[in-house]
Amino acid sequence: MAKTTVPIELSSTPSIVDNGNATAITIDSSENVGIGTNSPAQLLHVVGSGSTPFATQRNVNSGGFAMIQGKMGDSASTSAGHVYSALVAGIEDNTNGAEDGYFALEVSEGGLGSEKLRVTSSGNVGIGTSSPAVKTHIAASSYTAPTGGLDPNIKLLINNTQYCGMQILGSSTGSSFIHFGDQDNADVGLITYEHNGDYMRFDVNASERMRIDSSGNLLVGTTSAVTGNSLATVATGITASSSTSPALQLYCSGAGSNQKYWRWTSKTTGDIRLEQVNDAYTSPTQRLRIDSSGYLYNPSMLGSASANSDVRFNTSDGLIYYQTSSRRYKENIQDLPSMLDKVNALRAVTFDEIATGESCYGLIAEEVFEQIPELVNLKEVEGYDTPQPDNIPYSMLSVFLLKAIQEQQTIIEDLKARITTLEGN
């Protein structure tokens, strides 16, 4: 700007003009000052076409200074003597003349200026701290970095000495949510609280995957809980993974000896076991086991002298059941046909079991099947078109033996009668 002069004018709107006879500063009748404008709308109104129409400068290369201050009177005085807010520019580092600057906002606290917000030379924004550790740092107390430091990918940090939290308030008929997105999908991940139904849902890959309903039930792969006292409903299954013994555990939180832990656990041997664990969660007791070949073991099967129901196993479908005897379960009751010749044709043998090498005794299922086929259980065997004889329920053999003994006793009684007749003659 050229050298300016201050003419003596008596107009209601005095002004300062440069030597080109252009108005540089205008003071209107309301004492508003305009720089670059003839119609100032505020006490100070600056207009310019450059990138920085207004600037303040302090000729010191350290510390900070207030670019703009706001002052007001207090309750004791209406004079503008107290600083209530200020925009501050400062220098973080002036090493070798390459200054790093900062920008801050100060607001009066207890009559004294107190910094509330700062933007550092690296672009970090601090609220309540002059040394923001990440891009946005909200501090309710002094900050101490965690052991090992922060993850460099953290962009938002909130800290306090004891309790620290964040709240999202939404409408009682709407929803509150946090979106996780990328360049391909703005909400590929989503955590939503539905206030209207009071449930929280978790979306992954743009679809709902899990929900916690208003009763606290955990729903995975489904949006409705099963009927009954169900804590969790999983649509497709649960996987427990561990390098040693992964387990699914059931716990009854009773008092003292009523506390019970049950767990299904898989062993490195390929077994799956149902175990009962004591209160101290040590020394599990195996109650049931299925080995890697599918064999079922019950180490603590109950034995009772008064019980007489035979446990049966159907080799065709794997069903385990007990053999009933009451008339209530039977119809079309008929006498068993003659069994003496069939029983007499059976061959009692001894043999060595292939799987264990143990010496055993019994019958051969294929031979029994030829005489009494209804006594033999069949099983699908690879390489055969039809089910093959597999095992004999020896407890049922007694029925056929009983019939044979009865027939034999009839023969004996008939012979005795004949002998008596012959001896009488």
Q: How many CB atoms lie within 10 A of CB 235?
A: 10
User: What's the rounded Cα separation, in Å, for the pair 264 and 272?
Assistant: 7
Whole-number pLDDT of residue 383: 93
User: What's the rounded Cα separation, in Å, for the pair 74 and 82?
Assistant: 7
Tens digit of each residue's pLDDT (9 = 90 or more) over 222-249? 888 766 656 777 777 777 777 777 677 7
Q: Where are the domains of the chain?
A: 4-46, 175-234, 247-301, 317-425
Strand partners, 27: 33
Whole-number pLDDT of residue 10: 43
State both tokens at 139.
């501090």
Q: Is residue 4 predicted with pLDDT exceeding 50? A: no
Whole-number pLDDT of residue 54: 77
Tens digit of each residue's pLDDT (9 = 90 or more) over 95-124? 656 678 889 998 887 767 788 999 999 999
Whole-number pLDDT of residue 8: 43
Q: Amino acid identity of 209?
A: R
State both tokens at 189.
């991940």
